[in-house]
Amino acid sequence: MSDLPVLHPHKPHDHEELALIAFRATPYHEGAQLYTLLAVGGDNERPLTADGSIVFFRAPEQAESALQLDASMSQLGPAPHHVESLCDIAEALYVVNSQDADPNGILLDCLLILDDLVRATRLSMPERYQAILTELAARLTEGKPLKQIFVSSSLRNHVEDALLWCVGAVVVKARVLGE
């Protein structure tokens, strides 16, 4: 993967902590389907990993046992009990495909979390996908409305392709506990 940030530069911080992140991938499923932990607040925001795989689990109650698989992250403290953020991939894809507004910031939240996960895979993101997602995240961070960003269906399709590449990269480098 290139040395350029996928979506956003990280600001240096002194204090890292753990955040419980939930994921929803299936549009017809209510609520979260998977969870992981992220180390946040430092120079290297990263997900829970073991043996080169991103560790996911099916219920928040599994966070503490999952945390034991990653020695560097287990040093940050006990696993949190409340969900810090939801990466709603299904909703983000819906927003990209058909919406002119994202009042809840679902797409930006998803982009920022996927950034951390994709970097942890150590796979090389195609430059065109990296460029389009970096630009999209920058415009969303600036508060630019989706209606002004997505000026063509072609652009929506390119963003969808880039998001699906990210999801695929994460899936092939994932380990789900309990399987």
Give pLDDT tens digits for 93-112. 999 999 999 999 999 999 99
Q: What is the pTM of this model?
A: 0.88
Q: Is 15 helix (H, G, I), strand (E, B) or coil?
A: coil
Mean pLDDT of the region 2-21? 64
User: What pLDDT sits at residue 178?
Assistant: 81
The answer to whether residues 7 and 14 touch, using CB atoms and an 8 Å cutoff, is no
Instruction: Please state, in angstroms and rounded to a whole number, the distance separating the CA atoms of residues 78 and 88.
Output: 25
Alpha helices in the chain (DSSP H): 63-67, 71-74, 89-98, 106-121, 127-141, 146-149, 153-172
| Strand ordering across the sheet containing 49-50 | 49-50, 53-56, 174-176
150: alpha, beta or left? (left if phi > 0; alpha if psi -120 to 50): beta
Mean pLDDT of the region 115-143? 96
Instruction: Please state, in angstroms and rounded to a whole number, the distance separating the CA atoms of residues 134 and 114.
Output: 12
Least confident of 16-20, 42-46, 166-170: 42-46
Q: How confident is the model at residue 44 (pLDDT cuts 50, 70, 90)?
A: confident
Instruction: Please state, in angstroms and rounded to a whole number, the distance separating the CA atoms of residues 115 and 46.
Output: 9
The answer to whether residues 37 and 20 touch, using CB atoms and an 8 Å cutoff, is yes
User: What pLDDT sits at residue 79?
Assistant: 95
Q: Write the CB contacts of 144 (distance below 8 Å, at least 6 apart in sequence).
A: none
Written as six digits, the tokens of 142 are 């600036």
Least confident of 6-10, 18-22, 128-132, 153-157: 6-10
The answer to whether residues 132 and 92 touch, using CB atoms and an 8 Å cutoff, is no
Amino acid occupying residue 149: I
47, HSE (Cβ side, Cα atoms, 13 Å): 29
Mean pLDDT of the region 35-63? 94
- Is the pLDDT reported for residue 5 higher than 70? no
Q: How confident is the model at residue 10 (pLDDT cuts 50, 70, 90)?
A: very low
Mean pLDDT of the region 111-127? 96
User: What pLDDT sits at residue 14?
Assistant: 60
- Is the pLDDT reported for residue 1 higher than 70? no
Mean pLDDT of the region 2-26? 70
User: What pLDDT sits at residue 122?
Assistant: 95
125, HSE (Cβ side, Cα atoms, 13 Å): 32
User: What pLDDT sits at residue 3?
Assistant: 47
Mean pLDDT of the region 83-101? 96
